[in-house]
Amino acid sequence: MQRALIIGRFQPFHIGHLRLIEFAARDVDSIIIGIGSSQESNTKKNPFSAAERRRMIENSLSGIKFEIFDIPDISNNELWVSHVRKIVPEFDSVYTNAKLERRLFREAGCKVRETPFFNRGNYSGTEIRGRILAGEHWKSLVPEGTLKVMEETKGEERIRKLG
Ligand code: ATP
Ligand code: MG
């Protein structure tokens, strides 16, 4: 059984993340999703708690086998991969388009798959949080599952207050 690892902050979980997971799921049997900066919530850059982000993901994925793990930050690049490995089950590959993450996992001997960006101009956490602050439309950029959690948690209002 092949397992791929994907790590993100998912603030919020958007359609770019969904496409990335669907892209990886074509190659492997199961996806291990790591919620990065899991200790963070209620800040401008990290408005949602790990539990809220987990619900966004669980409500948005269907037909894909996955497991979710919380990964708190450690501010040490050298220890990052061993930190992640202590938390998640064994994986065969890492899917990422982040340069630093790619280098750290490669240096640790992991197989790294580069992925494309899907409509990065719009499908971006920073873009979505920025649009909410600016009062611009954003709802089409997230899956229904995220929208539901954003409504339950008054996510829009929270982002505006924090911003
Ligand atoms: P932020 O702007 O808050 O950093 P983000 O959109 O970059 O949010 P992250 O949670 O930082 O989202 O990213 C998690 C992973 O998803 C990273 O590997 C990132 O490169 C990837 N990713 C984010 N947006 C896209 C996209 N549109 N297409 C493909 N991959 C994406
Ligand atoms: Mg990012």
Query: Mean pLDDT of all residues in the chain?
Result: 97
For residues 78 and 88, what is the distance between their CA atoms, to the nearest angstrom?
A: 18
54 lines ligand 1 (CB under 6 A): no
Which pLDDT tens digit goes with each residue over 86-137?
999 999 999 999 999 999 999 999 999 999 999 999 999 999 999 999 999 9
53 lines ligand 1 (CB under 6 A): no
Q: What is the pTM for the complete model shown?
A: 0.97
Residue 4 DSSP one-character state:
E
| Domain residue limits, the chain | 3-162
Helices (H) and strands (E) in the chain, counts: 7, 5
For residues 78 and 73, what is the distance between their CA atoms, to the nearest angstrom?
A: 13
Distance 8 CA to ligand 1 centre (A): 7
What is the CB neighbour count within 10 angstroms for residue 154?
11
CATH match of 3-162 with 3.30.70.2190: no
Which pLDDT tens digit goes with each residue over 32-75?
999 999 999 999 999 999 999 999 999 999 999 999 999 999 98
Per the CB < 8 A criterion, the answer to whether 115 and 24 are in contact is yes
E strand or H helix at 98: none
For residues 18 and 14, what is the distance between their CA atoms, to the nearest angstrom?
A: 6
For residues 107 and 110, what is the distance between their CA atoms, to the nearest angstrom?
A: 7
9 lines ligand 1 (CB under 6 A): yes
